[in-house]
Structure 1
């Protein structure tokens, strides 16, 4: 990693402004209420808390994304302004606790599941493509793995940056099924492959 900043000051300002705009603009009438309503400040406090929780979740997932892209804990720590050990301690425990985004299959008639491990941001889609051709579809995921379930037909998988509501609705209209809530910056989808002809 070189000494050049990863983000320019104007980019940093845009991120900060967008977060402030989301916190002030998402709750209906919040910004206007601050002129005359003391209760508005409690709503602002709650909206800010939710924004901070979401930013914390995005940071955890971005760290796991950087790790999945092959970056070392030393590099991650430098970007965050902490030591390698501090970054590893802070983010490894939370990633392990996050686990799979789907409940485990149980019982004798439960579908067969397996874990595709050792995945990175660069090889996960190829692994899912191969599994899908063999009749496996994604049911969960986490840092460096996807959980897949057996079925009697092939599947296709796709990922895209977290979509807006319109993009999400379009994907669902095209038969794509969302898997989990997303893993920042990605949202995963699957759909059964219909036979040609």
Structure 2
């Protein structure tokens, strides 16, 4: 496969069919209503709008993750089929820690940034050993808060429902709603944090 063709044609078809299936299959009785009820087409329109909004959000998050993984705007543009400048104009407003990192507030907090998909778990592991608890995150940053406990962290793909339920049964707590394609979990450890490390 070439740089521009990162998915084979069968994968492309399965993704398209999966989106169509979700739009038609999730709203109760939508597909059947299209055979007999003109109002069903308005429900189809509403479901398609939700699907398009979600696809747009996933695309924005995927671009942010690609940038966080070190890919250039040129590479992002090639995959999207647009110029580097067009990709940057469309997605740059949400790219980078300065554009997305939140202000700090509440208890003692700090922002871990800039992070990538390759270094964020090591940064969280180090912070957790020092008693920093993950409280929120976004592309290229994590906000941690001082705690009297040590913490451990896991990052798992969003698509694995049974794994998420098993982790929660084992005492892991989800942090936020996830940033495509990841969901983050935290769990306190039994030993107290070392205040001197902070």
- Please indicate, yes or no, whether the TM-score normalized by the shorter chain is above 0.5: yes
Measure, in 2, the Cα distance between the counterparts of 1:4 and 1:63.
15
Cα distance per residue 1:64-84 (max 9 Å; x no partner): 111111100110011111111
Deviation at 1:63, TM superposition (A): 0.4
1:99 counterpart = 2:100: yes
1:136 counterpart = 2:132: yes
Any conservation in 1 of the 2:4–2:78 contact (CA below 8 Å)?
Answer: no
Aligned equivalent of 2:56: 56
Aligned equivalent of 1:145: 141
Any conservation in 2 of the 1:99–1:141 contact (CA below 8 Å)?
Answer: no
Any conservation in 2 of the 1:160–1:186 contact (CA below 8 Å)?
Answer: yes
Q: Which runs of 4+ in 1 moved over 6 A?
A: none
Residues 61 and 28 (structure 1), Cα distance of their counterparts in 2 relative to 1, 3 Å cut: same
Aligned equivalent of 2:165: 169
TM-score, structure 1 length as denominator?
0.89
Secondary structure of the residue that 2:89 maps to in structure 1? helix
Q: Show the 5 A alignment for 1:69-108.
A: 69-95=69-95, 99=100, 104-105=104-105
Secondary structure of the residue that 2:190 maps to in structure 1? coil
Any conservation in 2 of the 1:163–1:187 contact (CA below 8 Å)?
Answer: no
TM-score, structure 2 length as denominator?
0.89
Structure 1 stretches lacking a partner, 5+ long? none
Deviation at 1:3, TM superposition (A): 4.7
Structure 2 stretches lacking a partner, 5+ long? 193-198
Measure, in 2, the Cα distance between the counterparts of 1:82 and 1:70.
19
1:118 counterpart = 2:119: no
Deviation at 1:103, TM superposition (A): 8.1
1:22 counterpart = 2:22: yes
